[in-house]
Chains A and B, each alone.
Chain A
Amino acid sequence: MTERYRIPILRDKLKVSSILPGIVGDLRPFSAPEKNMIPLGFPKKLEEGWQQKAFGIFKKILDNNKALKVFMDICVRCGACSDKCQFFLGSGDIYNTPVGRAELLRKVYRYYFTNLKGEPFSENLLKKWMSYFYQCSECRRCAYFCPYGIDTAEITMAARKIMHEIGLGVKYITDSINKVLTIGNNIGLTTKALKSTINDLEEELKEDTGKDIKIPLDEVGAEVLLVPPSADFFAMPHMESLIGYAKVFYKSGISYTVSSYASEGANFAMFIGDYELTKALNKRIWDEAKRLKVKRVVIGECGHAWRAAYCYSNAMNGPFNFLDNHFQQPQHICEFTLDIMNKGLIKLDKSANDDKIITYHDSCNPARATKMGNVVGGQFEIPRQLLSKVANKIVEMDAAANRERTFCCGAGAGLLADEIMQVRINGAYPKVNAINNVMKSHRVNTVAMICAICKTQFNTILPYYGLDRDMVVGIHQLISNAIVL
């Protein structure tokens, strides 16, 4: 299986071996079938006159999105971003540099909206779009390094939005959005399936701990509505973190509930830049908070879910006057847990994690798009404080690959599809490299993180690089180990 993919070589220092334009231009995700597109209001396939429609959508976005309007004009192609993107570092394809990627949209912008030389819409160009705008994980590492703050995520979102509006959808992303809208989560777990999964978990917990630790579902009148990513209900190692949340809530004495209607924090509509769908998916959380009469909303360990909830909720579905205003709404589970720990409600046994030498991976969305605990930099400090409370051996990764400069796992923004495994392998390269370096220098054997996509991605990708997939853990999994019940 490994032979089918090109695996970049892990080195002490990151290096791009050779620059070859177009080398990964044939990697594309599966197109969305008709049944995925129609319910979302998109045309089922490319139709006659799509160029005109694409122009219309492009203009509409430009008129309503200051970011795109400004970013289309002001890039000077200085090249500061050109060696910063993980997909470029992993593939060496010039179209995978942020500026090269943006140029695919920018030349269309120049053709239709300026007097400078550009290129009109064509099927050939769409092929490139379909490839390279799905080799961007909207992680904003380029925005961090750009002198003008040009955010390729916004550019990718706009291009994806245009493609979806003219009938070129992506199967994995539209699948997920449809499932959230009809069933309640990306995975398509029905209420019944959810119930039985939760029952199994509770039984397991009872066996392991001897305590009645509950994960209440759809309970009206609870204090907290917990919105985890749906992966936490069925995937490994995600479930271990769900157990972690349950234990924290059990010890805190605060009543909580998960919801079958809003059983998904993830917001895949954000990835395709669709304001209406993003708002609709986001609205489910707040509708459910109203229906269940909770006082607080807490988001689980998921990177972009936290971004979608933190950045978009207020603008899209706020204000949240019906919730308890003493707390930030929404709140991240790490902030919640740290608060409980600081109140002394939980006894912790650090030695439970003594078999692990831990490094922490900052996920891109929390790191560069949000904060936690209403403190600047809280998104870095709060998870680290949690770690230091539950484990003894913690090692920091290279600062050039972590914190606000963190490399994305390589599968964010709807890239977590199996057919583009090579893209994921390329994108993971710089981060895996950084992990490999601390493994060599400090014998690190565990990578902690707070993102469902990161967990799945590293779980799948690490073996390709010859590393152990069981290294991947969630922070609440470590808390779960250390908690004294």
Chain B
Amino acid sequence: MFHINFISFIYVVISYITFVVFVCGVIYKFLIYMKTPQFVNIVLTPSPTSRKGVYCRMLSNIIFLRTLFKSDKFLWLISYLFHLSFLAILLQHFLRHITFDFNSAGGNLSYFYNILLPIGFIIGLVVFVTLLFLLFRRFFIERVKYISLFQDHFILILLLSIALSGLSQVVFQPVGELNKIMPELDHYFNNLITLKTSNIPLNPYFLLHYTLILVLLNYLPFSKLIHFIGVIFAPTLNREDNFSLENKLGMQDKYPTL
């Protein structure tokens, strides 16, 4: 590990720590939510009465944000666009930097690079703009302004900075510069996931982008962003409206003295 420079060494170490914190944090939360008992059925009706129905309701809620659509159409549009584009940009990053070993696949680096870069740029713009809307909401809709806390602004500003630093790699520096760091970058990430190490490209835009992402991943399991795990455990949505089930589970005997 000492064939790399000092800055790269720091980043590699922090990257691995971040990975452990993120994965363990999410798994820990997952297990806590799973293990905490729910004695009374508090399902929100009208509700499906079968397990299958519950899965459908849950999936439609997660895939289409159905409940949010019912309550706030504008917010639904913005957050749906944000979540979709965020997912797409994640996918774009994985395709671009990690999963593809261009040389052994016999592919043409510049070909993929040329397609994925503009796609990523456009998606990144959507992420940026929707985040801006979400932030403006917190300042300009009076009741939302009142309920917003520091961490709500923090997370939006963090995401905005990530998007901005990512986009500026394309906007603020010549294409030649980008082409130069790309092989180095792919090398770094591909080595990182195969537990080998190599030097990180010392490009300021990229380092900012990468550092902020590490901050985000460390913060995520302990923040409200854990909602992506929590939502599947909400007892108002994840149980069926079938009260004979309690008898089968023998809830009466496990009942706590609270």
Contacts and interface: CB of A to CB of B under 8 A. Distances in A.
Given A61-B258, A318-B246, A311 B37 contact: no
Contacts of A380: 46
A144 interface: yes
Interface stretch (A47-55, A94-102, A169-177, A474-482): A94-102
A316 B252 contact: yes
Interface in B72-117: 72, 75, 79
A369 B42 contact: yes
Contacts of B142: 19
Interface in A92-119: 94, 97, 99-100, 103, 114-117
Interface stretch (A219-227, A254-262, A273-281, A439-447): A273-281
Contact of A21 (B36, B146, B234): B146
Contacts of A154: 42
Interface stretch (A78-86, A338-346, A456-464): A78-86
Interface stretch (A65-73, A187-195, A351-359, A409-417): A65-73
A368 interface: yes
Interface stretch (A6-14, A124-132, A178-186, A370-378): A370-378
A361 interface: no
A153 B236 CA distance: 11
Contacts of B37: 64-66
B235 A70 contact: yes
Nearest to B227: A74
B147 A74 contact: no
A21 B258 CA distance: 33
A466 interface: no
B194 interface: no
Contacts of A318: 246-247, 251-252
Chain A at the B interface: mostly helix, strand, loop or mixed? helix
Interface stretch (B6-14, B168-176, B208-216, B237-245): B237-245
Given A60-B258, A143-B236, A379-B45, A75 B143 contact: no
B179 interface: no
A374 B61 CA distance: 24
A317 B255 CA distance: 10
A367 B227 contact: no
Contact of B39 (A71, A116, A275, A367): A275
A368 B236 CA distance: 10
Contact of B75 (A19, A78, A151): A78
A145 B71 contact: yes
Interface string B26-63: 00010011001111111111111100000000000100
A268 interface: no
Contact of A147 (B38, B61, B226): B61
B230 A275 contact: no
A362 B29 CA distance: 38
Given A71-B234, A74-B227, A114-B222, A79 B49 contact: no
Contacts of B226: 73-74
B234 A376 contact: no
Given A116-B222, A367-B45, A70 B234 contact: yes
Contacts of A163: none
Contacts of A367: 45
A361 to B, nearest CB: 17
Given A74-B226, A314-B247, A315-B246, A275 B47 contact: no
Nearest to B238: A149
A295 interface: no
A83 B222 contact: no
Interface in A355-407: 367-371, 376-377, 379-380, 404
A161 interface: yes
Which of the four size classes fits the interface of chain B? 35 or more
A312 B44 CA distance: 14
B234 A100 contact: no
B28 to A, nearest CB: 12
A63 interface: yes
A64 B243 contact: no
A333 B200 CA distance: 72
A304 to B, nearest CB: 13
Interface string A304-316: 0000001111111
A311 B230 contact: no
A311 B243 contact: yes
B255 A279 contact: yes
Contact of B42 (A64, A67, A100, A314): A67
B234 A67 contact: yes
Indicate the member of A97, A115, A313, A371 with the most B CB atoms within 10 Å: A371
B67 to A, nearest CB: 5
Given A19-B143, A74-B227, A80-B68, A64 B235 contact: no
Indicate the member of B29, B148, B235 with the most A CB atoms within 10 Å: B235
B157 interface: no
Contact of A76 (B32, B46, B49, B227): B227
A148 B68 CA distance: 9
Contacts of B65: 147
A279 B39 CA distance: 12
B44 A149 contact: yes
B224 interface: yes
Contacts of A73: 29, 224, 226-227, 230
Contact of B36 (A66, A116, A148, A317): A66
Contacts of A148: 227, 230-231, 234, 237
A150 interface: yes
Interface string A322-336: 000000000000000
Given A75-B224, A143-B236, A149-B236, A66 B255 contact: no
A453 interface: no
Given A69-B33, A154-B42, A97 B143 contact: yes
A448 interface: no
Given A66-B37, A97-B143, A140-B44, 8 more contacts: A65-B39, A77-B144, A79-B75, A99-B147, A147-B231, A316-B252, A317-B252, A369-B44
10 closest residue pairs by CB, A with B:
A74-B230, A149-B236, A145-B71, A66-B38, A319-B247, A79-B144, A74-B227, A149-B234, A149-B237, A314-B246
18 contacts: A73-B227, A76-B225, A79-B75, A79-B144, A97-B143, A143-B236, A147-B71, A148-B230, A148-B234, A150-B236, A153-B42, A274-B258, A275-B40, A275-B256, A276-B258, A315-B243, A315-B251, A370-B45
